[in-house]
Amino acid sequence: MKNKEKKFLFVLDLDGTVLSNSATGEIHQDTLDAIKLAKSLGHVVCIVTGRPWRSTKPIYDKLELNTVVGNYNGAHIHNPSDEFFIPQIHYLNLNEMLYILGDKKVKKEISNIAIEGPGWVQLKKRDEALEKVFGFNDTPKFTVGLNLNRLPLKPTGIVFDVKPTTDVYALKTYLDRRYGDLGEFSSWSKGEGLTPVFDITTVGVNKAKVVSLLMRYYHVETDHTICIGDGYNDAPMFRVANVAVAMGNSDQRVKKLATVVLKKTNKEGGVGFYIKKFLKNPLKEIEKSRKIRESRDGKEAEIT
């Protein structure tokens, strides 16, 4: 193949990106074909998502991956295909999290909360969409109703749904500014027409950290790393990879952080479209993104 000696790393978000339907786990055929092509050419394809492993596994298997996965936006990094890979798990301090969730400005925007640890989940109230995306029903101990007196002090994840009227950007900005010393706050789409979901990870945990680890682990140059996403939780990895691709269905603020903005959405196979385009002329795509980064001041991404 062209540039056979070069290995590329594709880091992919799931919801709103690889998945054309979050509830069913459907993947556009163009995306499936492109990922298969990239793998056949010797490139590395990895998933980094806000989802837990249990609801990522069916997608990982469908894509026939054997690479490192970042779940909970990087709070859980592991390689399901390599028993000798030592997983990284970052726990939360429950008392600090309850302090944040009790903030009046935050509390009034929350419509549902899920707190979980190894093998258990407590969900405030039933929610079909939330349960499908996070695979709560596959958890050994799934409880509806929060019992704060019977929760371990170090859960692995906390997610909360917000109201249809919530200004997601304003809420995320408030959380970052007010509680940035206690946690990392991400927001992402769980499906078309559904309210966004927020998640909280411990300080220093985000998708950018996973991408840095993946580049070293797979011995891939920064310039040869491509990240594709659609949400605010993808913004950190956009700052690390050379080629940062925002989906057509991304928020405008997310698009401004990318070096490539697609017209195609997740439902139109945007991931597959770009992977194929990149592989046809990788040096051209790499150079375009590099130039955009070098002259970032006032310059937005090229729409493709």
pLDDT digits (tens, 9 = 90+) for 283-292: 999 999 999 9
The CATH classification number of 9-88+205-303 equals 3.40.50.1000
In the predicted structure, residue 175 carries a pLDDT above the cut 90: yes
pLDDT digits (tens, 9 = 90+) for 207-254: 999 999 999 999 999 999 999 999 999 999 999 999 999 999 999 999
pLDDT (0 to 100) of residue 2: 46
Q: What percent of the chain has pLDDT over 90?
A: 81
In the predicted structure, residue 134 carries a pLDDT above the cut 50: yes
pLDDT (0 to 100) of residue 297: 59
The CATH number of domain 94-201 is 3.30.1240.10: yes
pLDDT digits (tens, 9 = 90+) for 159-172: 999 999 999 999 99
Average pLDDT over residues 33-59: 96
Q: Is pLDDT larger for residue 300 or for residue 26?
A: 26
Average pLDDT over residues 143-172: 90
What are the domain boundaries of the chain? 9-88+205-303, 94-201
- Which of 29, 40, 21, 80 lies closest to 279, judged by CA? 40
Alpha-carbon span 142 to 115, nearest angstrom = 10
Write down the mean pLDDT value for the chain: 92
pLDDT (0 to 100) of residue 234: 96
Residue 149's pLDDT band (cuts 50, 70, 90): confident
CB 141 within 8 Å of CB 123? no
Alpha-carbon span 6 to 4, nearest angstrom = 5
Q: Is pLDDT larger for residue 89 or for residue 194?
A: 89
Average pLDDT over residues 121-133: 91
pLDDT (0 to 100) of residue 3: 45
CB 196 within 8 Å of CB 230? no
Q: What percent of the chain has pLDDT over 70?
A: 96
pTM of the model: 0.91
In the predicted structure, residue 65 carries a pLDDT above the cut 90: yes
pLDDT (0 to 100) of residue 35: 98
In the predicted structure, residue 23 carries a pLDDT above the cut 90: no
* Amino acid, single-letter form, for residue 132: K
Average pLDDT over residues 149-178: 92
| Residue-wise DSSP of 235-295 | HHHHTTSSEEEE-TTS-HHHHTT-SEE-SS-GGGTHHHHHHHHHHHSHHHHHHHHHHHHHT
pLDDT digits (tens, 9 = 90+) for 69-111: 999 999 999 999 999 999 999 999 999 999 999 999 999 999 9
Dihedral sign, Cα of residue 191, residue 59, residue 34, residue 303: positive
Residues that are catalytic: 13
* Amino acid, single-letter form, for residue 210: V
pLDDT (0 to 100) of residue 153: 79
